[in-house]
């Protein structure tokens, strides 16, 4: 008789292994399977899909109990996923969860987000993957609703409902009565007025990245920003293929004219 | 009478401002306009679209002559682009060039590449943008062919031939007789066997990221890896919208079942 194995769930984030969001997520999904956490040892927000190319990476097991093992890692969120799948786990995980991020990763933030970067990496390595974010940056935000929706999506994916080749970007509004879930597109837009300048103690100018999001699709009821603004959790399926297929035909004549 | 202004070209990279590749590019396109270089002060390979979220960024003007100004920046490639467009340049650049990277950024490398991250950032900020890479990692690689193709594409873009909303990922094979240019798609695949383990001087295990690319589209004559393998420069148009539109319909019923 084959030994029954619980689903194996790999969890990471970009706010660091000690953040409230990842620990709320761990507690929320523990009943679903065996949990292995490999997360950055410090804040790694805005790390996108960065990898540690020129330095060695270290892993440190910081907690172990039945069905829960936690590692702290000096690498990026993507490094954590790669280490888990290549070096630490004894079998392919059934699910990768990244988050719960302190702060929105809707719209163009998918490009900069380490939370989403880790989910994309899981997808590239053939693991059903979800990035989960709450639209509240506070270290002590209330993750109750985000955990609820994250767990619902995790259950769907463990039931085999995620199409191949895509991962999920899930954002939850910071309200106590989330209205439900909308399947959305990535809102078009960009960040504007991005820097605050300041002087360091020696009088040199330094630049702090800040700014505000400029939504170019206000009122588009398909977009994730619209869903969040209306009190819904917003789910966008993402793919790692960034080819702009719609313009391939238009620029094909460049082949002949170089 | 209006004063004629030369095209303004912003140049960055991820190998650092002193790398051979960026300096070959600067010399290669100087005749096309006024050049402003804002590039990392050190190697920032594998930085993807990472941003510096928690620390101040510093800029240092290290060279100035007629129509060429060079800044060294403590930030990531994307930070360099954001600083250029938000803080340094007195008008919107006509073109952003990122590279020339020492090493290929074809296939899934677009996800990890700081060179491509900078080009995507230009695209997000409405600047016609190109990432340029040579398939040779060596610090003293020969950039002759890469400069030639990079300049040809720069001229096309300055002539207004790039459709809106996309940027260009250009890879040039490391051969002296490049056969021409192919318009391609991003090759599907992933990196496998990614780590070498080693011991540090105190006997602790460390992990070095390495590995080899596993091509899942061998023989696909549309793919950028195929074009490079046949001796062509490979041009892939990229878009920052990662929505997997093809599965939106399939998962729409999730809205009702949470």
Domain boundaries, chain A: 8-187+219-241
B245 and A165 Cβ atoms separated by less than 8 Å: no
pLDDT digits (tens, 9 = 90+) for A17-57: 999 999 999 999 999 999 999 999 999 999 999 999 889 99
Comparing CB atoms, the residue among A235, A241, A254 nearest residue B181 is A254
pLDDT of B226 reads 98
- Dump pLDDT digits (tens) for A111-124: 999 999 999 999 99
Of all residues in chain B, the one with the smallest CA distance to A123 is: B190
Does A3 have pLDDT greater than 80?
A: no
| Whole-angstrom distance, CA of residue B26 vs CA of residue B10 | 10
pLDDT over 70 percentage in chain A: 98
Cis peptide before B201 (omega within 30 of 0): no
**Cα A20 to Cα A27, A29, A100, A175, B104, distances in angstroms:** 11, 15, 8, 17, 39
pLDDT of residue B15: 98
B chain contacts of residue A245, beta-carbon cutoff 8 Å = 185
Coil, helix or strand at residue B178: coil
Cα torsion at B146, B150, B153, B155 (round to 10°)?
-130
pLDDT digits (tens, 9 = 90+) for B218-233: 999 999 999 999 999 9
Which of B125, B124, B127, B106 is closest to B115 using CA atoms? B106
Q: What is the mean pLDDT of chain A?
A: 96
| Domain B8-187+218-257 CATH assignment equals 3.40.50.720 | no
Note the pLDDT of residue A257: 83
Residue A165, SS3 per DSSP: coil
A161 and B251 within 8 Å at the Cβ level: the answer is yes
pLDDT at A27: 98
Q: Which of A25, A247, A52 is nearest to A154 (CA)?
A: A25
pLDDT tens per residue across span A170-197: 999 999 999 999 999 999 999 998 999 9
Torsion angle of the four alpha carbons B202, B207, B210, B215, in this order, in degrees rounded to the nearest 10 = 160
- Res A105 pLDDT > 70: yes
Which residues in chain B are closer than 8 Å to A117, comparing Cβ atoms?
48
Residues 6+ apart with CB under 8 A from A251: B161, B162, B163, B183, B235, B237
| C-beta atoms surrounding B130 within 10 Å | 26
Q: Of B175, B188, B161, nearest to B232 (Cα)?
A: B175
Rounded-to-integer distance, Cα B184 and Cα A45, Å: 33
Helix, strand, coil percentages (3-state) for chain A, rounded to 5, are 25, 30, 45
Residues of B in contact with A209 (CB under 8 A): 51-53, 57, 79, 82
Q: What is the pLDDT of residue A254?
A: 95
Question: How many CB pairs below 8 Å do chains A and B form together?
Answer: 230
Q: Is A8-187+219-241 in CATH node 3.40.50.1400?
A: no
Is the pLDDT at A1 greater than 60, yes or no? no
Q: Does A162 have pLDDT greater than 90?
A: yes
Of all residues in chain B, the one with the smallest CA distance to A115 is B50
CA B140 to chain centre: 19
pLDDT for the residue numbered B5: 82
Mutate to test the interface with B, among A244, A246, A256 (most CBs of B within 10 A): A244
Contact B237 A251 (CB under 8 A): yes
Query: Looking at residue B2, what is its pLDDT?
Result: 54
Asked if the peptide bond before residue A45 counts as cis, ω within 30 degrees of 0, the response is: no
pLDDT greater than 90 at residue A5: no
What is the ipTM metric for this complex? 0.96
Single out the residue of A44, A132, A61 nearest to residue A96, CA to CA: A132
| pLDDT tens per residue across span B73-106 | 999 999 999 999 999 999 999 999 999 999 999 9
pLDDT per residue over A223-258, tens digit each? 999 999 999 999 999 999 999 999 999 999 999 888
- Those residues of chain B that have pLDDT short of 70 are 1-4
- Helix then strand then coil, % of chain B, to nearest 5: 30, 30, 45
**Hunting for tokens 């970067």 — which residue is that?**
A117
């Amino acid at each position: 008789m084959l030994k029954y194995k619980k689903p194996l769930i790999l969890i990471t984030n970009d706010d660091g292994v000690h953040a409230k969001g990842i620990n709320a997520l761990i507690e929320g999904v523990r009943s679903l399977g065996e949990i292995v956490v490999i997360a950055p040892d410090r804040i790694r927000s805005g790390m996108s899909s960065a990898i540690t190319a020129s330095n060695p990476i270290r892993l440190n097991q910081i907690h172990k109990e039945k069905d829960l093992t936690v590692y702290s890692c000096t690498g990026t969120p993507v490094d954590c996923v790669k280490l888990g799948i290549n070096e630490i786990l004894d079998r392919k995980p059934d699910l990768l969860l990244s988050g719960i991020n302190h702060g929105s990763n809707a719209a163009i933030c998918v490009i900069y987000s380490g939370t989403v970067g880790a989910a994309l990496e899981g997808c590239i390595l053939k693991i059903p993957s979800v990035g989960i974010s709450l639209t509240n940056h506070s270290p002590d935000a209330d993750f109750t609703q985000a955990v609820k929706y994250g767990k619902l999506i995790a259950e769907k994916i463990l039931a085999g409902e995620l199409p191949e080749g895509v991962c999920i970007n899930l954002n939850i509004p910071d309200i106590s009565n989330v209205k439900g879930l909308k399947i959305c597109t990535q809102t078009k837009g960009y960040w504007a007025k991005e820097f605050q300048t300041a002087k360091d103690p020696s009088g040199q100018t330094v630049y702090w990245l800040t700014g505000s999001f400029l939504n170019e699709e206000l009122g588009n009821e398909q977009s994730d920003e619209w869903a969040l603004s209306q009190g819904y959790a917003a789910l966008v399926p993402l793919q790692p293929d960034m080819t702009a297929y719609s313009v391939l035909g238009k620029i094909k004549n460049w082949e002949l004219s170089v």
